[in-house]
Amino acid sequence: MNLYLRLLVVLIRMLFSRQRGLLEPSRLSFRVMPLDCDFNMHMNNGRYLTFMDLGRIHMLGQTGMLRPMLRARWMPVLGAAEINFIRPLRPLRKFQLLTRLVTWDEKYFYVEQRFEAGGRLCAIALVKGLFVTKGRRVDSSAVLKMLNFDLDAPRMPEIVQHWNDLAALKKKHYG
């Protein structure tokens, strides 16, 4: 199925889905179409990232964040992604994508995304992203304020230290 058509379906689903809390997971169902597959006859690794984009858009819509974000002209930008593939998703297989906000810091939001089929985990990813406007970063506190959300951030996942180490290494070698 064309990816723009899937985006349209996700946007329509958002119109009829109930609003969720910021830390509640959103859930989307899809089917692996033949054009989603690679030569090994399972979903192509790049397609996972595309589905993850759709999951994050859906999560933004369900938390009530999408409309204010668009009005403020804030653009979500991905900073890093770590994905682990556990089981293949074969052609025509139904699967669910669960997307949930894990935590945040002053700059980034950290989101877990899980691909499940038949009640079994097929892939799991953690991404970090932020919002930008006019070439500048929007502080996480401004985003949370817009949502009237004033809880402390949940505990940070260990992988974040790995990403911080990589960023320091990049800065050391490339400025």
Residues 83 and 47: their CA atoms lie apart, in Å, by 12
Task: Count up the domains in the chain and report the number.
Answer: 1
Digit-coded pLDDT (tens) for 65-101: 888 888 889 999 999 999 999 999 999 999 999 999 9
> Are residues 113 and 125 in contact, defined by beta-carbon separation less than 8 angstroms?
yes
Residues 154 and 85: their CA atoms lie apart, in Å, by 26
Q: What token pair was written down for 57?
A: 């858009």
Domain CATH code at residue 146: 3.10.129.10
pTM for this predicted structure: 0.87
Query: Residue 87: which domain range?
Result: 3-174
| pLDDT interval class at 1 (50, 70, 90) | low
- Is residue 49 scored above 90 in pLDDT? yes
Contacts of 115 (CB under 8 A, 6+ apart): 48, 51, 89, 95, 96, 97, 121, 122, 123, 124
